[in-house]
């Protein structure tokens, strides 16, 4: 499925039904009085958070989403049927903005959470509603209210506990495929990953599972729109722990420079990202270059960040990394 993290829709709530003008006409009730029922309320447009949905692709070609109108009131004091609300499933982490004003209407971060984005119109009162002791035969009823209409912009920020960041070909896809059931494309050329990938890490039956995200490779200038990373940088903001992968087998540059490149792009997009819990990981340990290994270890020590080395291909160091990720998550949850 194509990954879509933005969508624009028109949400149109249903109009309320009109009230009815009617009178009782029965053989032995000469002055039956008014009996017009109220109109039904119009349906609302409601966004519903749904776990397991990771894209807004299903809304890409649905520009107009309308709820059902309320039915008109009828005689014999019968109220019109309420219009059926339209519930639209969206991924967890979806933010909803009013497209005209830019106002944030809400965000959905829990499974089953509801957000009313366009409220249905109220049903109009029938003439039975207006009868009084001095006005016994009102010959008018109230029209139903109009349903709200809104142009919305939906923006998805994936919910993940741990985010993998790094230059293209740093080994992020291989790592997520080794520690979870996710199966992203893996190849020996840059920008293999074109869309974010989510996986669930559950090491052992008693361990708490957590969600890990493989985010497409960043390059220098990503925060200004270069490469593929810019459109996915927003997803990093949701991650509580960042795992920064650096290729230990690439002889074309220094590890410290690779590390600084990504840090610069994270800071340019949102300076607070560098304050997140981070783990520096040297990847491709099975083909390491000793000089790069020492360079990266020194860079991590200078920053005061934990440093680990792994080989996702041979699974060397993966248990230690999973333990460290879970440890960092628990520290974040406890506020340490």
* Mean pLDDT, rounded, for 43-60: 88
Q: Which of 160, 164, 161 is nearest to 177 (CA)?
A: 164
Q: Residues 148-154: what's their mean pLDDT?
A: 94
Average pLDDT over the chain, rounded to whole? 84
Alpha carbon separation from 213 to 79, 118, 175, 202, 291 (Å, rounded) = 51, 33, 11, 14, 29
3-class DSSP assignment, residue 115: strand
CA angle 300, 303, 309 (to 5 degrees): 15
- What pTM was estimated for this model as a whole? 0.70
From 67, 61, 7, select the one nearest 42 (Cα to Cα). 67
For residues 76 and 32, what is the distance between their CA atoms, to the nearest angstrom?
10
Is residue 208 over pLDDT 80? no
97: nearest Cα among 13, 12, 11:
11
pLDDT at 195: 62
Lowest mean pLDDT among 85-89, 115-119, 231-235: 231-235
Q: Is the model's pLDDT at 205 over the cut of 60? A: no
In this model, does residue 97 exceed pLDDT 60?
A: yes
- 3-state DSSP assignment of residue 8: strand
| Among candidate residues 74, 66, 51, the one with its CA nearest the CA of residue 15 | 66
Concatenating the DSSP letter of every residue in 138-156 gives: ----PPPPPPPEEEEEEEE
What pLDDT is attached to residue 31?
76
pLDDT of residue 232: 66
Residue 288: pLDDT above 50? yes
When pLDDT is averaged across residues 97-103 and rounded to a whole number, the result is 92
Q: How many residues does the chain have?
A: 336
Q: All domains of the chain, ordered by start, with CATH? A: 1-156 (2.70.210.12), 162-334 (3.40.50.300)
Position 134 scores a pLDDT of 86
Mean pLDDT, residues 19-48: 90
Per-residue pLDDT, 174 = 85
Over residues 21-43, the mean pLDDT reads 88
pLDDT at 302: 92
229 pLDDT higher than 60: no
Residue with tokens 């749904």: 50
Range name among 138-142, 168-172, 291-295 with the lowest pLDDT average: 168-172
Asked whether residue 179 carries a pLDDT value surpassing 70, the answer given is yes
pLDDT (tens digit per residue) in 102-128: 999 999 989 999 999 999 999 999 999
**pLDDT per position as a tens digit, 6-25:** 889 999 999 999 999 999 88
pLDDT digits (tens, 9 = 90+) for 137-150: 899 999 999 999 99
Q: What is the mean pLDDT of residues 44-71?
A: 89
How much is the pLDDT for 199?
78
Per-residue pLDDT at 233: 73
**Rounded average pLDDT over 233-258:** 84
Would the pLDDT of 277 be above 60? Answer: yes
Helix axes 318-334, 172-179, angle to 10 degrees: 90
Q: What DSSP character marks residue 217?
A: P
Between strands 241-247 and 162-165, the pairing is parallel
């Amino acid at each position: 499925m194509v990954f879509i993290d933005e969508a624009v829709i028109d949400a149109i709530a249903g109009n309320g039904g009109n009230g009815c003008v009617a009178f009782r006409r029965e053989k032995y009730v000469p002055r039956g009085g008014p009996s017009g029922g109220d109109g039904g309320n119009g349906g609302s447009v409601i966004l519903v958070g749904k776990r397991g949905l990771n894209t807004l692709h299903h809304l890409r070609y649905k520009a107009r989403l309308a709820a059902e109108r309320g039915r008109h009131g009828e005689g014999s004091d019968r109220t019109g049927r309420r219009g059926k609300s339209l519930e639209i499933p969206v991924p967890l982490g979806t933010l909803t903005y009013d497209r005209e004003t830019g106002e944030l209407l809400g965000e959905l971060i829990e499974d089953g959470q509801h957000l009313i984005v366009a409220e249905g119109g109220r049903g109009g009162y029938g003439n039975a509603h207006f009868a009084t002791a001095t006005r016994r035969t009102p010959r008018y009823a109230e029209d139903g209210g109009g349903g709200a209409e809104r142009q919305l912009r939906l923006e998805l920020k994936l919910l993940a506990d741990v985010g993998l960041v790094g230059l293209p070909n740093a080994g992020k896809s291989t790592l997520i495929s080794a520690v979870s059931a996710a199966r992203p494309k893996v190849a020996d050329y840059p920008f293999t990953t074109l869309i974010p990938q989510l996986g669930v890490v559950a090491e052992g039956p008693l361990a708490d599972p957590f969600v890990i995200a493989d985010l497409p490779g960043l390059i220098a200038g990503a925060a200004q729109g270069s490469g593929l990373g810019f459109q996915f940088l927003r997803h990093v903001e949701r991650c509580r722990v960042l795992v920064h992968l650096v290729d230990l087998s690439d002889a074309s540059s220094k590890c410290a420079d690779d590390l600084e490149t990504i840090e610069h792009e994270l800071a340019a997009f949102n300076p607070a990202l560098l304050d997140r819990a981070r783990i520096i990981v040297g990847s491709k340990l099975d083909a390491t270059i000793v000089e790069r290994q020492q360079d990266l270890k020194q860079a991590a020590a200078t920053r005061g960040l934990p440093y680990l080395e792994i080989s996702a291909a041979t699974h060397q160091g993966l248990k230690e990394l999973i333990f460290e990720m879970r440890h960092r998550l628990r520290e974040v949850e406890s506020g340490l």
